[in-house]
Structure 1
Amino acid sequence: MREAWGQRAAADETGFMKIIIIGAGIVGLATARCLVNDGHDVTVIDRNAGPGLSSSYANGAQLSYSYVAPLADPSVWRQLPGLLVDRDSPVRFRAGFDPFQYRWLLQFLAACTERQANETIDRLGELAQLSRKVLHNSPDLMAAQFNWTASGKLVVYSSEKSFASARRYADRQVASGTDKRALGRDECLVLEPALASIGDRLVGGIFAPDDETADALLMCREMERLMAESGNPPQFLYNTEVSRFIKRGRTIDGLQTGHGRLSADMYILAAGVGSRPLGRQVGLDLPIYPIKGYSLSVPVAREAAAPRVSVTDAARKIVLARLGDTLRLAGAADIVGDGLDIDFRRTGKLIADARADFPDAADWQSAKLWAGLRPATPTGQPIVGPTRVDNLMVNVGHGALGFTLALGTAQRLADQIAGR
């Protein structure tokens, strides 16, 4: 076994450390869970009043293990004019006065190559499969209540050209061991009868039976509960904002918070988009930009009209997931800064498209609107592991795949600390 990362920080005679995790979203709590299971003394702090109240709150609800293609893709180049001027484009850019926005965009465009996209897909695929393995090998989590369903994921296409391209990509994945199946229009309707309402424009779909759906907010709450009931319960400090790191040389000596100073042997930054400003305090230039997305949560009105399979509409660029008696729709990727204000033109288009496609599925007038910020790196790859600060590690930059990758990156980080 190689030297454990944790040996670079102070530890008691058992080898266990006192560890503070900054961030109580799905990534931070998954990290806490792994470290609690390894026997460490863990404290989780978050500026919000409870777990999962930022980007994990109402995301797309898909555990998309088989679909990990990054936003940075060669096709971006031909779409670029539309991204700059089309107000209804699924990906939208609005220029601001933040130099980092332009630097991030240039790095993003540089990553829009076939070589980089393939490298990213390979790495994200490994992390996604590790996440699935961790979940399915965790009886306590599998028994928890967070609307988990082995629904599978069906991506539907409305043009022969896009469907043919998707089939070629799926064939490559199948050759490397991923279970994906190309379905014709009629096969899509057999698999998910609720798609009959858009059957006139469907040409086919790609089905991944291993993908799943769940409620990320409920999973955060359940992980918190399970850890609190364990034999090694962590401490949860909510309504606690970190104002600054107290640094001594190459190490962090403590955190200054609104509730006083906190100290530990090791610190882990897992605060989503908030990780960048915190990291800058200790000399880290984390390339994380907030990409805003929107979701609707709507009560199901008629069972037969609401999809039960997780559906992604390639033409509309929206995802639909069934969470018990609720239908969750999510879409849009706005590179417009870090504001959480809701653009009602964007959400209005989501509702209009949903009502046009699935008019009887839900009580659309009762839709609950939400906006969240995806912490995205230019390549789409998360940053997991040690930093130039000896006792600071990071688990950040998951973009739109935070829910899918959280358990995998948490396990990867815990393995690094333990020297596994």
Structure 2
Amino acid sequence: MQQVLVIGGGVIGLTSAWWLLEAGYRVTLLEKSPMMAAGASHSNGGQLSYKYVSPFADAGVPLKALQWLMQKDGPLRFRLEADPRQWRWLWQFLMHCRADVNRKTTERLLLLGELSRQEMARIEPIVPKEDFAWREAGKLIVYRSAGAFSKAAARAGTGEVLTAAQCVEREPALAAAQGILAGGIFNAGEAVADCHAFCQVLAARVKAHPRCDGVVQAQAQSLTVEGGVITSVMSDAGVLGADRFVLAAGIQSRELAATAGVYLPLYPIKGYSLTAPIVPGGLEVSVTDFERKVLYARIGDRLRVAAMADIVGADTGLDQQRIDGLIRQVKAMMPAAADYGNITAWAGLRPATPDSAPMIGATKIQNLFLNVGHGALGFTFACGSARVLSGLMRGVSTETLL
């Protein structure tokens, strides 16, 4: 029975570990933090957007990015670094900002989203939905621009096209914003949930699995390559060996892969979230403000608001100006939805690829595998990605799985 070392204890690492355990591998999990899901999985937006997976790289995005940079509370911030990895990633990103590339990527992500939805349903006996505040709330994407709304309505597919008044009828928390909305698209079946709670329950199941060889709490420092294969991981806890190794450590995967001579086109996109106690009837439907790129979701008894894409390096600090700007937008959009005097703010780094598609599977090193680069959709794609990874490691092609 082969031994696999999974590096990373966020939602991607934990789901990878579980699916590999179920596939018959012995698994050890290596996580640097005392608590699982302490990074990008901790306070993300909570939306499980299986049908709305539009890649960030698309035609027109470079021009939009320039406009966003001019806005006081715009969704994008950029700081040029003396880091060739940033320059290389930005160049690759620009090369993917084409409609034909975006269309192909979207098709792949929709398949992965549907697989993820199916696999989330399959894991329910192990991680009951009530244990992580799962709700099939439906998703309402609202548009401020008549032009953007018209384009979205023309390709709405199975989504329900709503006027501004109908948006408010569907979600009364938007009443104060009705005058600035052109309309919206509602998709039933989309869900919201607490990613951090999901990870805590799944971590307990992983640890209790008969083929789990334990969780090592330590920082991975480097990969050791001998004879063209990874033989071990050097960590704060010493040398850890295995037959196969899986990188699922978010942006840290970039540095670890480099120690083995493997380049990963990842860049940390910094995002922010606010969490506040929700008032009765404060919000039911999951809402996305299309132009401002702000997500609103009710997770249990809390309102979660997530936004921003800051290209500023590996800085995880809370930028008070960004937090204040997000608070202003929330209060303008949904002034009575939550107790805004009791807000908890958070920032995290989302590991993004230039084309917004995750990297899952083998590398040039035969026993090193990847499950990284999910950007802001890690929770959405976690279960499907783990299924794909498990299949590839067992020799099942992605075409069969997707």
TM-score normalized with structure 1 length: 0.91
1:151 to 137, 154, 159: 137
1:53 equivalent in alignment to 2:38: yes
Residue 225 of structure 1 corresponds to 204
Does the 8 Å CA contact 1:299/1:366 hold for their aligned counterparts?
Answer: yes
Residue 379 of structure 1 corresponds to 355
Per the TM alignment, residue 144 of structure 1 is displaced from its structure 2 partner at its CA by 5.3
1:276 and 1:160 map into 2 onto residues whose CA distance is 41
Does the 8 Å CA contact 2:225/2:260 hold for their aligned counterparts?
Answer: yes
1:391 equivalent in alignment to 2:376: no
1:24 and 1:415 map into 2 onto residues whose CA distance is 20
Alignment of 1:303-314 (within 5 A): 303-304=280-281, 306-314=282-290
Percent pairwise identity: 39
TM superposition outliers: structure 1 runs of 4+ over 4 Å? 83-87
1:330 to 295, 306, 315: 306
Residue 333 of structure 2 corresponds to 357
Residue 274 of structure 1 corresponds to 252
Residue 345 of structure 2 corresponds to 369
What amino acid is aligned across from residue 207 of structure 1 in structure 2?
Answer: F
What amino acid is aligned across from residue 73 of structure 1 in structure 2?
Answer: D
Q: What does the per-residue CA deviation read over 1:343-362, in whole Å, with 9 as the maximum and x for residues that have no partner?
A: 11111011111112222221
Alignment of 1:102-117 (within 5 A): 102-117=87-102
Per the TM alignment, residue 80 of structure 1 is displaced from its structure 2 partner at its CA by 3.9
2:208 and 2:232 map into 1 onto residues whose CA distance is 28
Residue 121 of structure 2 corresponds to 136
2:69 and 2:285 map into 1 onto residues whose CA distance is 33
SS of 1:246's equivalent? strand
Q: What does the per-residue CA deviation read over 1:149-182, in whole Å, with 9 as the maximum and x for residues that have no partner?
A: 0011100112211110111232xxx2xxxx3221
1:209 and 1:35 map into 2 onto residues whose CA distance is 32
Alignment of 1:218-297 (within 5 A): 218-238=197-217, 240-297=218-275
When the two chains are superposed, the root-mean-square deviation of aligned CA atoms in Å is 1.4
Does the 8 Å CA contact 2:14/2:206 hold for their aligned counterparts?
Answer: no
Does the 8 Å CA contact 1:250/1:388 hold for their aligned counterparts?
Answer: no
What amino acid is aligned across from residue 179 of structure 2 in structure 1?
Answer: D
Residue 71 of structure 1 corresponds to 56
Does the 8 Å CA contact 1:180/1:208 hold for their aligned counterparts?
Answer: yes
2:176 and 2:369 map into 1 onto residues whose CA distance is 49
SS of 2:287's equivalent? strand
Per the TM alignment, residue 78 of structure 1 is displaced from its structure 2 partner at its CA by 2.4
Does the 8 Å CA contact 2:28/2:212 hold for their aligned counterparts?
Answer: no
Does the 8 Å CA contact 1:148/1:212 hold for their aligned counterparts?
Answer: yes
1:234 and 1:191 map into 2 onto residues whose CA distance is 49
Per the TM alignment, residue 197 of structure 1 is displaced from its structure 2 partner at its CA by 2.3
Does the 8 Å CA contact 2:65/2:76 hold for their aligned counterparts?
Answer: no
Residue 38 of structure 1 corresponds to 23
1:83 and 1:286 map into 2 onto residues whose CA distance is 28
Q: What does the per-residue CA deviation read over 1:199-232, in whole Å, with 9 as the maximum and x for residues that have no partner?
A: 2222211111121001111111111122233443
Per the TM alignment, residue 260 of structure 1 is displaced from its structure 2 partner at its CA by 1.2
Does the 8 Å CA contact 1:135/1:141 hold for their aligned counterparts?
Answer: no
What amino acid is aligned across from residue 308 of structure 2 in structure 1?
Answer: A
1:321 and 1:121 map into 2 onto residues whose CA distance is 23
SS of 2:132's equivalent? coil
Residue 203 of structure 1 corresponds to 182
SS of 1:298's equivalent? strand
What amino acid is aligned across from residue 164 of structure 1 in structure 2?
Answer: S
SS of 1:272's equivalent? coil
1:233 and 1:263 map into 2 onto residues whose CA distance is 15
SS of 1:320's equivalent? strand
Per the TM alignment, residue 187 of structure 1 is displaced from its structure 2 partner at its CA by 2.4
Does the 8 Å CA contact 2:74/2:292 hold for their aligned counterparts?
Answer: no
Per the TM alignment, residue 85 of structure 1 is displaced from its structure 2 partner at its CA by 4.5
Alignment of 1:180-199 (within 5 A): 180-199=159-178
Residue 166 of structure 1 corresponds to 152
What amino acid is aligned across from residue 405 of structure 1 in structure 2?
Answer: F
1:89 to 70, 74, 86: 74
2:361 and 2:293 map into 1 onto residues whose CA distance is 32
Residue 399 of structure 2 corresponds to none
2:95 and 2:18 map into 1 onto residues whose CA distance is 36
Does the 8 Å CA contact 1:294/1:331 hold for their aligned counterparts?
Answer: yes
Q: What does the per-residue CA deviation read over 1:271-319, in whole Å, with 9 as the maximum and x for residues that have no partner?
A: 100000100011111000000010001111x212x21110011233210
Per the TM alignment, residue 234 of structure 1 is displaced from its structure 2 partner at its CA by 4.6
Q: What does the per-residue CA deviation read over 1:108-136, in whole Å, with 9 as the maximum and x for residues that have no partner?
A: 11100001100110111111111000011
Per the TM alignment, residue 83 of structure 1 is displaced from its structure 2 partner at its CA by 4.4
Does the 8 Å CA contact 1:144/1:222 hold for their aligned counterparts?
Answer: no
SS of 2:115's equivalent? helix
Question: Compared with structure 1, are the counterparts of its residues 85 and 195 closer, same or farther at alpha carbon in structure 2 (3 Å cutoff)?
Answer: closer
Question: May I ask how many residue pairs the two structures share in their alignment?
Answer: 395
1:62 equivalent in alignment to 2:40: no
What amino acid is aligned across from residue 353 of structure 2 in structure 1?
Answer: T
Per the TM alignment, residue 90 of structure 1 is displaced from its structure 2 partner at its CA by 0.9
1:316 and 1:144 map into 2 onto residues whose CA distance is 31
Q: What does the per-residue CA deviation read over 1:21-63, in whole Å, with 9 as the maximum and x for residues that have no partner?
A: 0000000001011011112110111111121000000001100
Does the 8 Å CA contact 2:271/2:347 hold for their aligned counterparts?
Answer: yes
Per the TM alignment, residue 81 of structure 1 is displaced from its structure 2 partner at its CA by 2.8
Per the TM alignment, residue 185 of structure 1 is displaced from its structure 2 partner at its CA by 2.3
Does the 8 Å CA contact 1:321/1:329 hold for their aligned counterparts?
Answer: yes
1:20 and 1:147 map into 2 onto residues whose CA distance is 30
Does the 8 Å CA contact 1:298/1:366 hold for their aligned counterparts?
Answer: yes
